[in-house]
A and B are shown apart, each in its own frame.
Chain A
Amino acid sequence: MSRNRLVGLLLVIALLASLSVGLVGAQDKKILVTGRQMGSSDIPTIDPAIAEDVPSVQIIDEIFVALARPNEETAALGSGMATWTVSEDGLTYTFDIMENVPWVRYNAEIDAVEQLVGADGTPLVVTAQDFAYGILRSLNPETAAPYQYVLSPWIVGAPEYSNGEGAAEDVQVAVVDSNTLTITTPAPSAVVPFIFTMWVTMAQPQSIIEEYAEFWIDPENIATYGPFALKEWVRGDGGSLTLIKNPLWPGTENIPVPALDEVVFRFLDEEVQLTEFEAGTLDVAEAPDTEYARISADANLSASYFTGPGTCTYYYGFNVEREPFNDARARQAFSMAIDRETLTTDVLGAGQIPAGLFALPTLNAAPTSETFPDIGIGTDLEGAAALWGEYLAETGKTAADFNLTLFHNESGLHATIAQAVQQMWAETLGVNVQIATADFATYLDTRGNYDVYRAAWCYDYPDAHNFYYDAGWHSDLLSENDTHWSNADYDALVDQAFAAPTVEERAALYAQADDILVNTEAAIAPMYYYVTNDLTAPYVTRTHSFITREYYEKWDINR
């Protein structure tokens, strides 16, 4: 008995000793724990070809680097892994890729990031061939990449290849030498370089992917080259992902060698993030909108609080194949009856900006209400009631004849907004709308079957083209468009804007297109622009990104 107790005591002492050693070790290292934009469940993937969601892209952007990279604070385009020149006809882009950037992997046995060596013993570096392989893999129909349709229109031969009709050799991505890549686009446009900031165009390690197939993204198999390397990935709800500084990253002006040693990304609900932040176990956290009043009143929390422009537009889409939304007047009336001011100040109240246009004002070439005050849609309750009355009188129906359903995915915020809008429509138009909800996957699959659905578009690259084209409103992408709306004038304007040479000309054309989309045709009702709200511990030095992902290599901790 006493001997057992002695052993137990020794064990406890040993445990405490190892703990304190661990703590001392931890203090030496700069480890940042963040919950920003990670969501509360496991992230889907860190494969650049497969990713389509914000958390996955956040990780991918830190461990791989694209050819070009937008500045996170200005959205201005800068170099990533390459600098580039454009041919005179504006069609051929020649990328000069950085030399001697090693492919690396974290080795748990020696607790360090090390360079990978090829089968013949030569150290592996990133080459033009790796980028060409990455782009072709993202386009390969067998990869079934969700973002294939965003990438393929920009490269000659790519649409045919990704449809399964053309050959990989006909895709105009050419490796000139180990550090030079040329890519030919079908039409000259100022948007093109933005495409090469996207994760689907990053270099991918061919030999690793072929060896491990879908398991290549596991920490013990993966090969990366960005400023951080993957250290650990605890999968599942409540899990985390740890990135470790890649000391072999050469460091550039845009992408320095990280000051932090490790970044731990935890998958937590916003509410839990706030609680952990207040407890001091999280250095960076999201600030839930529902807690905004308390945060802004609290001296400590408000000092840590930051609010800046967001990356998404929140909107309701009308199903134009169903009554009454097959008539533009009904859609306009429903859109005008949404009191955006009340919604953003009283219901949400965390700094969201009422939206009268679809495109975010911060985008490159986006029209704004300041520069184009006469376009877009606004809240007009009398006007809405009058238009709706006109529609009812003409069709001989009453508001009670319509049995409409508003559909959103399950989330506290969406439910609150839906109920507020439900009340606004009942008051102004006399229509009682039902609300239906579903989990996110079901919602994405079935939202086209409802009368009205909630949605948000968050940009993939900071140019207005991403909103007016890739969001699905152009008739090229009708199959992606759950309102089932299309309009020839809109298509023509977006196509013209795409080819227009200056930002001003493009913005003017997009302004007309936006007016068709949200006002004269009113296929969607833009409601507000997101804001980025977060909390940062006082000892963290950081940049505040408004391009969805944070660049942690520019952050530091000074305790």
Chain B
Amino acid sequence: MATLSQPSKLPGSGVTSLSERPKGESLWANSLRRLVRNRLAVIGFVIIILMILVAIFADQIAPRGFAEANFKSGDSAPTWVTRVFPSMIPEGQEGGYVIIDESYTLGADALGRDLLSRIIYGSRVSLTVAFIGPLFAIAIGLFVGMAAGYFGGVVDNVLMRAVDIMYAFPTLLFIILLMTFFRFSTVAPEPGSLAATLGQFDKNSGGMLFIFVGIGLTSWMQMARLVRGQVLAAREQEYILASRSIGSKTPRILWGHILPNILGPLIVAETLTIPTYISYEAFLSFIGLGVQQPTPSWGSMISEGANAIRSYPNQALFPALALFLVMFAFNFLGDGLRDALDPRMRGKD
């Protein structure tokens, strides 16, 4: 891109002359440099990398299994937690009721399952959603948006009206409807049918499949609109005309010229949408439509913890803290990326 913006400076034409171009900093290198200078974005990035590592190596890191219950230790907590939450009075003191068990780092839930282990395993659900959302958005939204924006006319009309119709549903309500529909069309299916296979797959994934489908089916629409708008603007640029005049075919123009030029805003938009996907999953699990027990999800842990929030605030607050951290990380990374990729910020620091 940087090379294309300065063809007139190059005497003559031909590929050989390109190697003689003056050494400049590419847009991406420049953006990266600015991103690294943004402290909050770096913190966000580090948190995300750490979370990904935790999710991948959950089996090694977690002190216990996520479903490992010990009924006798239900609702127990270590001493430091009772100090942080003064309302949790340890057993033995006046008005005390919290069973002290130091072997649980953050405490145990009502069934005596380790909160820390469940939060660690719960990161798998949240982070998978964080990547499944953009994956669908790119897989569907990018194609729809580029086709609509570049070809215009009937194609544009048909695709964008479809997006409009899907958009007319409130997203969350739409996902809830989808989830309910999926779950109940696979209640008692004919053995061997598609519904049975999907239902089985969903059960084996702890209920995650339908969350992915639900979020995937709704995540691409915003992307499609954004891409279309960007393509509309980009296709009128001179470099596209130049490319077309030297005989480039449509795919080359789309992928080689337009896509690299509109990628920046798309990355920013998707990174900033990731917290929304994570919160959708947490919300669905909170209301009981998300992951199936005993698979832990931060949303379902918060929901379970909320049942006893007065007595054992740690059970709801620790998973909420984890959720907060990840949302925070993605938001700051997204903000950092926006600043870094903004061409108007180029050269300024």
Using CB atoms and an 8 Å cutoff, list the residues of chain A in contact with chain B.
271, 274-275, 288, 290-291, 293-294, 296-299, 342, 346-347, 349, 403, 405, 410, 412-413, 415-416, 418-420, 422-423, 434-438, 442, 446, 449-450
Contacts and interface: CB of A to CB of B under 8 A. Distances in A.
Contacts of B329: none
Contacts of A271: 306-307, 309-310
Interface string B39-81: 0000000000000000000000000000101011011000000
A187 B311 CA distance: 54
Given A275-B310, A423-B111, 7 more contacts: A271-B309, A294-B311, A297-B97, A298-B97, A419-B67, A420-B69, A423-B67
Nearest to A274: B310
Chain B, interface size category, equals 20 to 34
B119 interface: no
Q: What 8 pairs across the A-B complex have the smallest Cβ distances? A: A297-B97, A290-B308, A412-B307, A346-B71, A293-B97, A294-B311, A410-B288, A449-B188
Interface string B314-336: 00000000000000000000000
A281 B338 CA distance: 50
Contact of B111 (A405, A420, A438): A420
A297 B89 contact: yes
A446 B184 contact: yes
B242 interface: no
A349 to B, nearest CB: 8
B293 A415 contact: yes
Contact of A342 (B71, B95, B97, B304): B71
A274 B308 CA distance: 11
Contacts of A403: 200, 203
A290 B288 contact: no
B294 interface: yes
B298 to A, nearest CB: 16
Interface of B: 67, 69, 71-72, 74-75, 89, 95-98, 110-112, 183-184, 187-188, 200, 203, 287-288, 292-294, 303-304, 306-311
A271 B67 CA distance: 26
Nearest to A448: B188
Contact of A416 (B110, B200, B287, B310): B110
Contact of A290 (B69, B293, B307): B307
B111 A419 contact: yes
B67 to A, nearest CB: 7
Nearest to A423: B69
A309 B329 CA distance: 51
A412 B69 CA distance: 17
Contacts of A274: 310
Tell me the dominant secondary structure on chain A's binding face.
helix
A271 B187 CA distance: 32
A436 B210 CA distance: 13
18 contacts: A275-B310, A291-B311, A297-B95, A298-B95, A346-B112, A347-B74, A347-B110, A403-B200, A403-B203, A405-B203, A410-B287, A416-B111, A419-B111, A435-B292, A435-B293, A437-B292, A446-B187, A450-B188
Contacts of A405: 203
Contact of B187 (A298, A420, A435, A449): A449
Given A434-B292, A446-B187, A291 B111 contact: no
A436 B309 contact: no
A346 B74 contact: yes
B125 to A, nearest CB: 16
B22 to A, nearest CB: 65
A413 B98 CA distance: 19
Contacts of B95: 297-299
Given A342-B71, A415-B304, A418-B293, A291 B310 contact: yes
Nearest to B91: A297
Given A271-B310, A297-B95, A347-B74, A419 B293 contact: yes
Contacts of B308: 288, 290-291
A507 B349 CA distance: 87
A77 B94 CA distance: 45
Contacts of A413: 307
Contacts of A436: 183, 187, 292
A40 B98 CA distance: 28
Among A297, A420, A446, the most chain B Cβ lie within 10 Å of the Cβ of A297
Contact of A296 (B72, B97, B288, B303): B97
Among A288, A342, A416, the most chain B Cβ lie within 10 Å of the Cβ of A416
B283 to A, nearest CB: 14
B115 to A, nearest CB: 15
A416 B310 CA distance: 18
A290 B74 contact: no
A470 to B, nearest CB: 27
A296 B96 CA distance: 9
Given A419-B294, A423-B67, A434-B292, A290 B184 contact: no
Contacts of B200: 403
Contacts of B74: 346-347, 349
B69 A293 contact: no
A97 to B, nearest CB: 47
A422 B294 contact: yes
A410 B183 CA distance: 14
Contacts of A437: 288, 292
A297 B308 CA distance: 15
Contacts of A435: 292-294
A64 to B, nearest CB: 35
B310 A422 contact: no
A506 B293 CA distance: 43
B124 to A, nearest CB: 18
Contacts of A442: 184
Contacts of A291: 308, 310-311
Nearest to B309: A271
Contacts of A342: 71
Contacts of A288: 307-308
A434 B288 contact: no
